[in-house]
Chain A
Amino acid sequence: MTAETTGATSPTGTTGPGTPGGVRSPAGDPLVIAGEEFASRLITGTGGAPSLKVLEEALIASGTEMTTVAMRRVSPGAEGSVWDVLRRNGIRPLPNTAGCFTAMDAVRTARLAREALETDWIKLEVVADERTLLPDPVELLDAAERLVDEGFVVLPYTNDDPVLARRLEGLGCAAVMPLGAPIGSGLGIRNPHNIELIVEQAEVPVVIDAGIGTASEAALAMELGCDAVMLATAVTRAQDPVRMAAAMRDAITAGRGARLAGRIPVRRYAQASSPAVD
């Protein structure tokens, strides 16, 4: 969590230890991960797009500066690639370890991604099973520790568990990426209280990752104090991916603004906003 968000009154009505520092201009409020600045607080995924053309248009509409890709075997004769799309638009690739079920597999995939894409950044995913795709916390911690030791900038996809998030940060991860709900489910943020607890304690950026279904949920993530939103399915499988990408961009800007502005406390009864009649 960035310092300026500390203590904002949360959307769920609880109040943190201080007050927000007031509205900041977007230009002066970059997302900073491992010392690198991003003007956009939306990290997009590329999975599920109906075509490379639609994907490219959606990425441009989203305003994203960093986009996840997976590592898979080369298919002979494949025409066009996501790699070309990212290079053409100056979007930074963030390789992931999707499809890995053990720490050993994830470390191997990260090493291959570093070699292929010439980046030390890795979105670490180690999942427990195909049905839920929920992170396996034991394997995740093991992989994170090994990758940090090897000099990777590790961004782990994690459960919405404040204790696990703290352990990952303690290992040296550059951010924590708790899920809002299972990957691709569109269920929104199932446990906003836990997300708030993670935000409160984190000294590194908190990126909500997975579960976002529509723009209001992305805005909520930002209002809860998350530093950024990572999503794919909500855009790539929307009826109009390009329009949804733009909606997500605007929602994240709005949610961030509301967080910095500091919402009013939740009250049980009315409070007149007009002066009393004499």
Chain B
Amino acid sequence: MKVIINGEPRDLAPRSTVADAVRTLTEAREGIAVAVNDEVVPKATWATTVVSENDRVDVLTAVQGG
């Protein structure tokens, strides 16, 4: 299925989770936050939250700024 991860379309297996989506970008867990369709997904539920076709997954981290 097609999922938009950080603005880029990607193919994920059906029933993939938020944790699977994060792993397409990074193995890190600390300092990372995820939103699906603009709603924050708590880290504790990444492994159990299933993403759906055309969901927008944003994976963010702290960068230099301010």
Are the CB atoms of A115 and B33 closer together than 8 Å? yes
Beta-carbon nearest neighbor of A116 in chain B: B33
- Are A46 and B65 in contact, with the CB atoms below 8 A? yes
A98 beta carbon closer than 8 Å to chain B: yes
Contact with B along A19-49 (1 / 0, CB 8 A): 0000000000000000000000000011111
Is B50 on the interface with A (CB-CB < 8 A)?
Answer: no
B38 x A96 contact (CB < 8 A):
no
A267 vs chain B, min Cβ distance (A): 42
Interface size, B (range): 20 to 34
The residues of A that contact B7 with a CB separation of less than 8 Å are 73
For the residues of A in contact with B, the DSSP-based class is mixed
Contact: A123 with B66, CB < 8 Å?
yes
| Docked complex: B25-61 residues within 8 A CB-CB of A | 25-26, 30-35, 38, 40, 42-43, 58-61
**Identity of the chain A residue whose Cβ is nearest the Cβ of B6 in the assembled complex:** A73
Q: CA separation between A6 and B6, bound complex, in Å?
A: 49
Q: Quote the shortest CB–CB distance from A131 to chain B (angstroms).
A: 19
User: How many residues on A have C-beta within 8 angstroms of the other chain's C-beta atoms?
Assistant: 33
- The interface residues of chain B lying within 8 Å CB-to-CB of A88 are none
Binding site for B on A (CB under 8 A): 45-49, 52, 55, 68-74, 76, 81-83, 93-96, 98, 108, 111-113, 115-117, 123, 125, 232
Known contacts A83-B61, A117-B62; can you find 4 more A-B pairs with CB under 8 A?
A: A70-B62, A70-B63, A71-B63, A73-B60
